[in-house]
Amino acid sequence: MKTEVYSWRLEAEKKADLEAELRRDGQRLSELLDDLTTTWLRERRNGHSNDDAEQAAIRKRAKAAIGAVAGGDPTASQRAGELVREAIYQKHLQEMNAASRRKRAD
């Protein structure tokens, strides 16, 4: 049972074109919107064909922004805070050294 109402604004020309097409097809706007939303939700729930690629791209961007701690140490998970602090410190040193070199070059 449909009980909810949703409203949105659109350009008058687009509304007129939409209504004309719906009249030509003998369809109501509510039917069209119901079909469109059902299809869109089904696709979202079943995943997109690009979803794996999209997730890989997100992980790549996150890794570049956040950084990573190299593996090989079985105690790394226990020492994660220490390792992250050390990685940040090393990056800070590199940036400070680079800034110092730029300053001397000027």
- Please compute, for residue 50, the number of CA atoms within 13 A of its CA located in the half-sphere on the CB side: 3
| CA–CA distance, 106 with 96 (Å, rounded to integer) | 15
Both tokens of 31, joined, read 């039917």
More confident residue, 1 or 73: 1
Burial class (CB in 10 A: 0-12, 13-18, 19+), 84: middle
More confident residue, 5 or 51: 5
Task: For 55-91, write each residue's pLDDT tens digit.
Answer: 888 888 787 777 665 667 777 778 888 888 888 898 8
Domain extent listing, the chain: 1-47, 56-106
pTM above 0.75, yes or no: no
Helices 12-25 and 29-46, axial angle in degrees (round to 10): 100
Model confidence band, residue 48 (pLDDT cutoffs 50, 70, 90):
low
In percent, the amount of the chain with pLDDT more than 90 equals 26
- Please compute, for residue 17, the number of CA atoms within 13 A of its CA located in the half-sphere on the CB side: 5
